[in-house]
Structure 1
Amino acid sequence: MSPSRRDRLRQETLAEIREAARTLLTTRGTAAVTINAIAREVGMSGPALYHYFSGHDELVQAVTADFFAELGAQMRAARDARRAAGGTVSARLLAACRAMRGWAITHPAEFGWIFTSHVPSTVTRSPDSARNLAGREFERVFQEEIATLWETSPFPVPDALPPAIREQLRAYIDRLGVKLPVEAVYVTTSCWIRLYGLLCMEVLNQLDYIYTDVEPIFEECLKDMAGVLGLDYEPPPA
């Protein structure tokens, strides 16, 4: 059944509110993204906005979900383009990682919002929240390629892991639904942490005192990751 006119108008207003929040973020910074400021942007009162979002936290998480979805879509598009061209797992994985960096440096405010903003414990304890569902879809872009790789060419993994690490990774595997042994997830998350840490430092201008161009450093990181996963490193297309 098609949505009613009332439902369509509500969805349009929700989208307008989230877009207003993004505009405030990108033009004036995180501190400017308040309920009252957003309400002014869309031409309503602060109390009226509560008819659409229960509070600031819910609005923040909805906007975060939008950013995750946009980033994930860009990564999937890059990956799928390489697949359509007959690219290897290595080519697809590297393309997705490069697309992630491309989005991050093009949208530094949004990237910072996703990856450096405080996440309330009420959100982390809600696996089915919009933010966490979108975040898991984003993670799957990376993990699905790793799972494909593991099926055909398993990479070296540690013989044993401390119980505390194993238990946490097992919980993560259950949440994401990936079909990988704990040891393989440990290796891939270690690669991911390094990659993500480098991106955060670049986007937050923490490397400016050393490098004016971080792309070759990022490529070295990708080369190291490929080596850990037993893949051939393929340079970016010219």
Structure 2
Amino acid sequence: MTSARTTTSRRERLRQATLEEIHAAVRRLLVTQGSAAVTINAVAREIGMSGPALYHYYASHDDLVGAVTADFFRELATTMEQARDAHADVPVGDRMLAVCRAMRAWAITHPAEFGWIFASPIAPPNRQRDSARHQAAQRFEQVLLDLTVELWQTRGFPVPDLDSLPESLREQVTAYSTDIEERLPPEAVHVFLACWIKLYGLLCMEVLHQLDFAYSNVEPVFEECLRDLAGMLALDYPGQPSA
């Protein structure tokens, strides 16, 4: 006789398998047809399900988008964490460069997914701060933040005089310092965010083909960016590792 627990477990496994099938369908549509093609009805058709039936799994299109976005964030974070851990025995600066290169490698091999996850702000409104998407985004954010904190605590890096910053900027970096439980002081936050803007900005331009008019190979430009970041953080730049 089948127990209620066995029946529940089987039902949960079937539900999880269906969720995975839904997410795979979203990814196929995104990669092959673009984000506009990812509708509830299109995803349902892709897996042989009716649109109304799919609502048993996700209450809205926004919920579906949030769940798949969380998947992509986790995948990217895992890639960066693996690069960090593979260089566990080297100085923190070398680990940071390895993580940045891993981030670029994922971005240029998954341009549709990269564009999808960064099409909206990483930090959602406060009412969504417990969502799976926000938690996955925080995990991604923590990879470089943790390394920057380690660098700050072990050897430090040049920072501006906080009072020299414009008042609005000073207030914002102070607020972010509070958000991260003051693991970095506001002046170090300013440097961390400046590095992130340079890195992320270049990646976005590359993935969105905004540099195609001049560059057929952006990798040396990216390495120049890493050299600049190393300078901002007072790190040695050992050059691009050999293949």
1:101-180 matches, cutoff 5 A: 101-115=104-118, 117-118=119-120, 123-125=124-126, 126-160=128-162, 161-177=165-181, 179-180=183-184
Query: What code does the residue aligned with 1:197 have?
Result: G
Higher relative contact order (CA 8 A, sep 6+): 1
Q: Which moved more, 1:63-72 or 1:8-17?
A: 8-17
1:48-67 matches, cutoff 5 A: 48-67=53-72
Offset of 1:147 from its aligned partner? 0.6
What is the percentage of aligned positions where both structures have the same residue? Answer: 59
Work out which of the two has the higher radius of gyration on C-alpha atoms and give 1 or 2.
2
Q: Does the aligned pair in 2 maintain the 1:26–1:110 contact within 8 Å?
A: yes
Query: What code does the residue aligned with 2:56 have?
Result: H
Report the secondary structure of 1:4's partner residue: helix
Q: Of 25, 46, 49, which residue of structure 2 is paired with 1:44?
A: 49
Other-structure match for 1:200: 204
Other-structure match for 1:5: 10
Matched, 1:89 2:92: yes
Offset of 1:165 from its aligned partner? 2.6
Report the secondary structure of 1:179's partner residue: coil
Query: What code does the residue aligned with 1:147 have?
Result: V
Q: Does the aligned pair in 2 maintain the 1:68–1:138 contact within 8 Å?
A: yes
Q: Which moved more, 1:219-228 or 1:6-15?
A: 6-15
Change (3 A) 1:163 1:66: same
Q: Does the aligned pair in 2 maintain the 1:144–1:178 contact within 8 Å?
A: no
Residue by residue over 1:141-191, the C-alpha shift from the partner in whole angstroms, topping out at 9 and shown as x without a partner, is 101111110011111111123443343334434444561111111111111
Counterpart-to-counterpart distance in 2, 1:112 and 1:182: 30
Q: Of 74, 77, 102, which residue of structure 2 is paired with 1:72?
A: 77
Counterpart-to-counterpart distance in 1, 2:30 and 2:160: 42
Q: Does the aligned pair in 2 maintain the 1:147–1:179 contact within 8 Å?
A: yes
Counterpart-to-counterpart distance in 2, 1:150 and 1:128: 29
Offset of 1:111 from its aligned partner? 0.6
Offset of 1:6 from its aligned partner? 1.4
Other-structure match for 1:228: 232
Counterpart-to-counterpart distance in 2, 1:76 and 1:225: 20
Residue by residue over 1:177-215, the C-alpha shift from the partner in whole angstroms, topping out at 9 and shown as x without a partner, is 561111111111111011101000001110011111100
Counterpart-to-counterpart distance in 1, 2:130 and 2:54: 23
Offset of 1:19 from its aligned partner? 1.2
Query: What code does the residue aligned with 1:157 have?
Result: V
CA RMSD of aligned residues (A): 2.0
Superposition TM-score, scaled by structure 1 size = 0.92
Counterpart-to-counterpart distance in 1, 2:92 and 2:137: 22
Report the secondary structure of 2:129's partner residue: coil
Counterpart-to-counterpart distance in 1, 2:114 and 2:40: 21
Matched, 1:99 2:102: yes
